[in-house]
Structure 1
Amino acid sequence: MATFRDTLAQLLKARIPVLLVESYEEQRVIAEITAVAHDAARVRTPRRLWTWSTTRGLVSPDGAARQGTTDPAAALDAILRLDEPAVVVLSDLHPALGAAGRPAEPGVVRRLRDLAVAFRTGPVPRTLVLVTPVPHLPVELAKDVTVVDFPLPSEPEIRAVLDGMIAANATSGRIRVDLDEAGRERLAKAALGLTLHEAENAFARAMVDDGVLDARDLSVVHEEKRQAVRRSGLLEFVEDSVALTDVGGLENLKRWLARRDGSWLAEAARYGLPAPRGVLITGVPGCGKSMTAKAVAAAWHLPLLRLDIGKVFAGLVGSSEQNMRAALRTAEAVAPCVLWLDEIEKGFAGGSGDSGTSARVFGSFLTWMQEKTRPVFVIATANDFAGLPPELLRKGRFDEIFFVDLPTRAERAAIWALHVGRRLRHPAVAGELTVDHALLGELAELSDGYSGAEIEQAVVGGLYDAYAERRPLRRDDLLRALVNMVPLSVTQAEKLDAVRSWAENRAVAATAAEDWDLDPRTATGPGRPGGPHGGRAVEF
């Protein structure tokens, strides 16, 4: 892939008159342009670098500011009279071009068009570079200005900043650095998607927070990324306080995820491994799909972003595709990260009255899933397999498709242990009730056919009974809550059978083989063909 310097050198040699670079990092852009413009090996004819801003006006390469050039129109007139090989960088011209809802200044637009013609046909090579955080151009300039992508800092650039700050502060004795080579790599990768200034701020905050720079400071870097995500308006930065150990059961899925921890690091690349693309989790509602998405981000120490498809489709006609591309660009800028799409089948359902918008947006997403190279791990959850387009299910989109069924007896016991044990930590709740093997076995047996969410609600219901009488929680409270609840396996029995039938040969069971409730009469179990639960019996 061509670098910014390679692209810029080609454009300068081709004498493209006006370029636009979208970036907040003016100084880094100017440094890159200077390196190219002064390199005779790249551009044949070296160019002198001029700059312009509304505060200093037009500044020559020797640092002298020309009087009377702070006005954009006057500055463009002065630039037009330059008769030497030059690159002129303008930092503050976007307000005069109609950015932020302002009307464009006709005189500035006209001068830019005249300048483009003069630079294209003139005897000496001259190029104008507009550096702006707002990539807005009047329609009159659409054919005269070439847009050049300027990437955010690469990992080596961020790593150089990190190593420089460590070297500058570690010798003073005020900062203790507790990072090995892998830890430094993780911290540098975590800062990808930030500007150099933002990355430097994050590292500085991490150092002064407790005087120690270690792996725990990843959260400080993620906080900086949260600000960038919040500004996008299309993605939500989700707090990932849930641990994988908080997810009861699903050991097969958790093992698969655990084996891919750190697979975006250089150590994995030395094995020839690509970064994992993602996983699709479908199955019975209330059985831990969404919680797993939150838990994997916490386990991998990566930011978790949730894409709200509803926000993508909001706005003016024709903006949905642009919104999707903007959201995906933001996710890639924040990478490595986990991108969560909840109930993906509803987001791309579309309809006959949307003029094909849903299909186009969905197509953009599928193309990105197939071709993305940045480490954005996609976790998509779905409850209704019938709403999943077949293009989404083919290999190459997701690494694997998992099916989450109603919890087995062993999984139900683990879920009861999690929810009851967590509540008994509160002094007002704890009494004579003990979470032992006998109690868990009884509760697991009585809750056959209940989802994880229904078990949690049974615990909550029991707590309400105890609270009403201002006493500790008792075994009878839990049993009463179970008896009074009608589980989804009863109210939606036919639908669950259809879901299991679909998943039997299309998805991998999220439940581990050792958790199967084997029936000695049929020798079948969850994940086995013909068993009571669907999904291929593949163990990782």
Structure 2
Amino acid sequence: MTLQQRVNELVRACFAGIWIESHEHTDAIAELAGMCRDEQWRLVTWDIERGLRGPSGSPSEHDAGDPLAAVRAISSLADGETPAIVVLQNFHRFMQSAEIVQALAHAIHDGKQRRGFVVVLSPVVQLPVELEKLFVTVEHALPDRQQLLEVAAGIATEDDEMPEDAQLDAVLDAAAGLTRYEAEGAFSLSLVRDGVLAPSTIWELKTQAVQKSGLLSIHRGAETFDSLGGLDALKAFTRRAMMNRRSDGQAVRPRGVMLLSPPGCGKSEFCKCLGNEVGRPVLTLDVGSLMGSLVGQSEERTRQALQTVDAMAPCVLMIDEVEKAFAGSASGGVNDSGVSSRMMGTFLTWLNDHASDVFVVCTANDVQRLPPEFSRAERFDGVFFVDLPGREQKDAIWALYRQRYDIDLSETCPADDQWTGAEIKSCCRLAALLDVPLTQAATNVVPVAVTSAESIDRLRQWADGRCLSADTPGFFRKEVNSGKRRRRVTTKPSVN
């Protein structure tokens, strides 16, 4: 439903207080002006610089330059018959005044009788407790693909500037998640730089726009599954889940996977490779940046970040070390007044109900710090345990990083029992950095399996029979001693 349709319904239902959450005030006012023009309603806008203005931008006959005067003028603008809508831009800045709060309450109560409507247009919803029950909130959503196509058509007016088919889809994918103003700028820059609408330039500006919020970052590297050794079962599962299409052309939307493992086993690297493998951008959610100092700010930032993720679909969303992000929720949030519990609730609700094509990859090193409902069925398509690499995987990782750091293949590898892929990479990098043999560089590497042996053993014990194996099809089974030989046993899930 469009902004016009939502506000039209609310006005006809006589909701005298309407709060529109929008970062695009010019477009929101244009939509409201079109609605009022069609319905022959009166529209007046106000901001702190220009005061009250009529629909054409000319000064209103009511001189209301300060916020309190603007609110008091609302009652005189309504005649009791034709609806009069007063749009107050960025009015959340003035809600700290008790006089303004009381004046708004009076204006809303009088507006129900006199057909006067207060519309606050703001990028955030910050209602004082006195007004919470008097306002209904409406979200001015970011443009969808059809609206972005209309913006692109208005910028690329020459025949050879607008791409077609798959290239046009790539341009719209790159612009998804941008505001209308940002999309116009990205399309214009692409025409100046490339002579045609090109996804690369749009992605450049989109990455900057997303990073400005500080809540999300975009990874667009060149890594693929070929640059990541091991994890064969996990690779095959995610590739098939995201690329599979039924014979009737329809697709069942995948949800995501949760990866549990000791540190350094390739979880984060897998997420980065997955995006390129399936042709989607990888968004990383920094949960620490969601925490705010004001009451309700953390929850608002969480919703804002998830709305941006939805708008940028199709994409891959990575939340690294999720148990640290929502650690307080496991104890009921007693140490942070329940903030982490509410953030977790918001995320779980979105994870279960979102309709956008977002593939979520959560990584964790300690599942016991997460509430059990986090990994229940239908939150994720699968929960995988990524163990320390076996011999075959280690050989592939050694070969990969020997080539990357230009290390002679004839060099002897050090003893790598219980090493992770990160430790193999560290050994190769140190050998290249210090210009020493691999065996000497290995003396600077202390495996996490040694420093955290007890916690890793507990992690394997928990994953035994509860998680899928990332290396081979079937459930993960804890490694068992068999004399001097260690072996991994996997059991395929029953189909019954």
Distance 1:194 1:183, change over 3 A: same
Counterpart in the other structure of 2:321: 343
Q: 2:261 aligns with which of 265, 283, 286?
A: 283
Distance in 2 (CA, whole Å) between partners of 1:221 and 1:257 is: 29
Give the drift of 1:381. Answer: 0.9
Q: 1:207 aligns with which of 191, 200, 211?
A: 191
Instruction: Give the conservation status (yes or no) of the 8 Å contact 1:343–1:380.
Output: yes
Instruction: Give the conservation status (yes or no) of the 8 Å contact 2:186–2:201.
Output: no
Distance in 2 (CA, whole Å) between partners of 1:181 and 1:213 is: 13
Distance in 2 (CA, whole Å) between partners of 1:492 and 1:304 is: 30
Deviations for 1:449-487, whole angstroms, at most 9, x for unmatched residues? 3211111122133235526xxxxxxxxx12344477554
- Superposed CA RMSD in Å reads 3.7
Q: Which moved more, 1:152-161 or 1:353-362?
A: 353-362
Q: Which moved more, 1:415-424 or 1:336-345?
A: 336-345
Distance in 2 (CA, whole Å) between partners of 1:93 and 1:13 is: 24
Give the drift of 1:184. Answer: 2.0
Q: Do residues 507 (structure 1) and 476 (structure 2) align? A: no
Counterpart in the other structure of 2:16: 17
Q: Do residues 88 (structure 1) and 82 (structure 2) align? A: no
How is 1:378-389 mapped onto 2 (pairs within 5 angstroms)? 378-389=360-371
Instruction: Give the conservation status (yes or no) of the 8 Å contact 2:317–2:358.
Output: yes
Counterpart in the other structure of 1:450: 419
Deviations for 1:507-539, whole angstroms, at most 9, x for unmatched residues? 2222257xxxxxxxx9xx9xxxxx82366558x
Distance in 2 (CA, whole Å) between partners of 1:197 and 1:257 is: 35
Give the drift of 1:25. Answer: 1.8
How is 1:469-484 mapped onto 2 (pairs within 5 angstroms)? 477-482=437-442
Residue type of the partner of 1:112?
A: L
Residue type of the partner of 1:511?
A: D
Q: 1:163 aligns with which of 153, 169, 179?
A: 153
Distance 1:158 1:536, change over 3 A: farther
Q: Which moved more, 1:298-307 or 1:179-188?
A: 298-307
Distance in 1 (CA, whole Å) between partners of 2:201 and 2:237 is: 27
Give the drift of 1:270. Answer: 7.4
Q: 2:104 aligns with which of 94, 97, 112?
A: 112
Counterpart in the other structure of 1:402: 384
Give the drift of 1:288. Answer: 0.5
Counterpart in the other structure of 1:47: 41
Counterpart in the other structure of 1:460: 429
Distance 1:94 1:448, change over 3 A: same
Distance in 2 (CA, whole Å) between partners of 1:112 and 1:366 is: 36
Q: 2:94 aligns with which of 90, 94, 97?
A: 97
Counterpart in the other structure of 2:217: 237
Instruction: Give the conservation status (yes or no) of the 8 Å contact 1:5–1:36.
Output: yes
How is 1:118-517 mapped onto 2 (pairs within 5 angstroms)? 118-122=110-114, 125-166=115-156, 168-171=157-160, 175=161, 179-217=163-201, 219-223=203-207, 226-231=208-213, 233=214, 235-241=215-221, 243-244=223-224, 245-261=226-242, 271-313=249-291, 315=293, 320-350=298-328, 351=331, 353-354=334-335, 356-424=338-406, 433=408, 435=409, 439=410, 443=413, 446-466=415-435, 477-482=437-442, 485=445, 487-489=447-449, 495-512=455-472
Residue type of the partner of 1:51?
A: T
Distance in 2 (CA, whole Å) between partners of 1:491 and 1:77 is: 68
Q: Which moved more, 1:303-312 or 1:486-495?
A: 486-495
Distance in 1 (CA, whole Å) between partners of 2:340 and 2:441 is: 43
Give the drift of 1:33. Answer: 2.2
Counterpart in the other structure of 1:532: 487
Distance in 2 (CA, whole Å) between partners of 1:117 and 1:331 is: 38
Q: Which runs of 5+ in 2 are unaligned?
A: 474-481
SS of the aligned residue for 2:471 comes to coil
TM-score (structure 2 length as normaliser): 0.82
Distance in 2 (CA, whole Å) between partners of 1:487 and 1:35 is: 65
Give the drift of 1:309. Answer: 3.7
SS of the aligned residue for 1:127 comes to strand
Please identify runs of 4+ aligned residues in structure 1 that moved more than 6 A.
267-270
SS of the aligned residue for 1:213 comes to coil
Distance in 1 (CA, whole Å) between partners of 2:259 and 2:92 is: 47
Distance in 1 (CA, whole Å) between partners of 2:268 and 2:447 is: 19
Give the drift of 1:158. Answer: 0.9
Instruction: Give the conservation status (yes or no) of the 8 Å contact 1:450–1:487.
Output: yes
Give the drift of 1:131. Answer: 2.0
SS of the aligned residue for 2:402 comes to helix
Residue type of the partner of 1:104?
A: S
Residue type of the partner of 1:337?
A: C
| % identity of equivalent residues | 34
Deviations for 1:11-43, whole angstroms, at most 9, x for unmatched residues? 111222232212132232223223433446xxx
